[in-house]
Structure formats: C-alpha cells, structure tokens
Structure 1
Amino acid sequence: MIHGSIDLIDDLCTSCMICARECPTWCITLTSHQEQSVPAPGARPRTHNVLDTFTIDWALCMYCGVCIEQCPTDALVWGGAHVPSADRLVDLLHDRGQLGRDSGA
C-alpha cells in the first residue's frame, strides 16, 4: 500500500475524536455538535455526534497512519497520491471538502 494522503469518508465518521487524540503530532482537528433522533415510534430519543469540521495539517503530519489504524469506523483511509507541496503553510491545511471520499454506500 502506498502511504500518500489520507482521505476522510464523511458519512462513516462518528466524531469520536480518537484520531485527533492518538495522532502523535496533533495534526488533526475536528469539531462536532450533538443532535437527537428518535429511531422508532415509542423509542427513547438518542443523541449522536454530527461532524462539523475536519482538518489535517499536512505541514505537521508524519504519514504514520496511526489515525487510520485507530479509527473504529474506518472513516480514514490511505488516499494514494501524495499531498502536493505548497508555497504557503495555510495551503497545507486540508478540510473536509479536500479530504472527502464517497463511502460507496
């Protein structure tokens, strides 16, 4: 497997924060909010996290794959292509739109 960029499969992410906590360089940041849903008539409302932002700072990333290995829902995967160099550090911050991948579901 080629260790290039890391892709985020948006709809698999539960905003558990394990990737951000386990990252040795703290290059991942994410924010989320909680929403309530009622799964079936008569059932109690359930609270679940909804992902708002997800960012990887490629200037800090070591491409070690710890985030991918630790993700319990397989929302992070190797992307294949390396992240292109940039003239400005801010251009190495990639958000959900740049990291996104369709789950194929």
Structure 2
Amino acid sequence: MAASLPPSRPRIPGTGLAKGLAVTLRTMTRKTVTAQYPDVQPELPPRSRGVIALFEENCTVCMLCARECPDWCIYIDSHKETVPAAAPGGRERSRNVLDRFAIDFSLCMYCGICIEVCPFDALFWSPEFEYAETDILELTHERDKLREWMWTVPEPPALDPGAEEPKEIAAARKTAEKLEAQRAKEAQEAQQAQQAQETQQVQSREEGEE
C-alpha cells in the first residue's frame, strides 16, 4: 500500500507577487551590479590573466617555453648568426636570431607555465582580453601583436615592507658594502702612509738643520 502524502497547504492568492515585491524592495537601495560593458571598461584585478605579451629583446630562443607548453601552442622559428670577434685576436661566436614567435590562443589554456619557466623575463601576463575573432585561425598572434601587448603590462607591485629581502638584492648589497669597506681601508692606509712620509721628511729636515 502506497504511503499517503501529507496534506498540502492551501495557496494564498498573491503570495508569489508579494515575495517578488519584497525582493525588489530589498535590492532597490543597493548598488547596481549591471556591467555597462563596453561603454565602461571593467576594473580588473592586478594579477589578471588576459593574453601573453612578448618582450622580444630579452628572448634568446632557448625554446624552454615551447618545450614546457602542455598545449604545444607556441611556435618559434630561428636561425644562427655569426658574430665577429669583439677585439683583434678574439674568437667569433654564434647566436640564435628570432625569426618567428607566435602563440595560438585557441589552444592556450592560460596556465602560465611558459611565463614561469622563461629564465630571461621575455614573457609577461597582460590584462588585455578584447581579442575575440570571428575565425578561429585568426587567434594565432605573431610576435608583432605580442610585442604591442607589452604596453598593457602593468608595473610590478611594490614589495611588502615586512617581506624578506630578495637574495639577489641582498647579495648585491653585501658585495657593494665589501667593496666600499675595502676602498675605505685602502684610502685610510694611503692617508696613514702619506702622514708617515710627511713626518719622516720633517724629521729629516730638522736633523739637517742641526
């Protein structure tokens, strides 16, 4: 035998309308949340991930970003160039010259691994997000476009006053302090030697007068 259902409460006419009006009255005095995009640009967080910008001057074509990319969406072409010796008798050396650097943003999942592994600070996050296209093939952006996005990269945030000093800065500061102390010591020794020489000259002059 099926269990009997509990008796339903009788519906009061207009209850739904009253609930809707109550919600309207509660939200009437609150700040509007409607985004007026694209007339008003949104305020993005400082660490927003939009697109990846390329600082071409820092790129050494080491290929780390392309090898570590899990989506294989970074395309790099380069050639080797011979650099003449800087001084007579020196040796020539070869270097990699960047020919093409492109990122297919239809494949990119914005993980940021390429930015993290770049040892020369050639890749940066840009907050730019208005790059929609009607054709998926046009989402492959070449190095000229990636360079343009460098102008949208924000300045790095200031360090926390209570944070530990970076190791590179601490090492450079200690080296500078050692050099300054060494120079001060050398200057003091030179001054003492000069004073001793002047004293010796005065004594020799006095002995000659006697």
When the two structures are superposed, what TM-score results if normalisation uses the length of structure 1?
Answer: 0.91
Superposed displacement of residue 39, structure 1: 4.5
Which string of whole-angstrom CA distances, capped at 9 and with x for unpartnered residues, describes residues 2-61 of structure 1?
111100001111111110000000010010000011341122111110000011000000
**Higher RCO structure (Cα 8 Å, ≥6 apart):** 1
Q: Give distance in 2, aligned partners of 1:74 and 1:97.
A: 18
1:58·1:83 contact (CA, 8 Å) conserved in 2? no
SS of residue paired to 1:54: strand
Cα distance between partner residues in 2 of 1:55 and 1:64: 17
Structure 2 unaligned segments of length 5 or more: list them: 1-46, 152-210
- Aligned pair 1:99/2:131, yes or no? no
- Give the Cα–Cα distance (whole angstroms) in 1 for the partners of residues 126 and 49 of structure 2: 8
For residue 60 of structure 2, the aligned residue among 4, 11, 14 is 14
Alignment partner of 1:2 out of 42, 45, 48: 48
Q: Is 1:71 the counterpart of 2:114 in the alignment?
A: no
1:33 paired with 2:60, answer: no
**Shift in alpha-carbon separation, 1:27–1:34, aligned structure 2, 3 A:** same
| C-alpha deviation, 1:91, in angstroms | 1.1
Cα separation, partners in 2 of 1:25 and 1:62, compared to 1, 3 Å: same
Q: Which runs of 4+ in 1 moved over 3 A?
A: none
RMSD (CA atoms): 1.3
One-letter amino acid matched to 1:66: I
User: Is residue 5–residue 83 contact of structure 1 (8 Å, CA) maintained in 2?
Assistant: no
Equivalent position SS for 2:97 = strand
Counting strand residues as a fraction of each chain, which structure ranks higher? 1
Higher helix share: 2
Q: Distance in 2 between matches of 1:8 and 1:39?
A: 30
> Which protein has the larger Cα radius of gyration, Structure 1 or Structure 2?
2
> What residue ranges of structure 1 are gaps of 5+ in the alignment?
none
In the superposition, the TM-score normalised over structure 2's length comes to 0.47
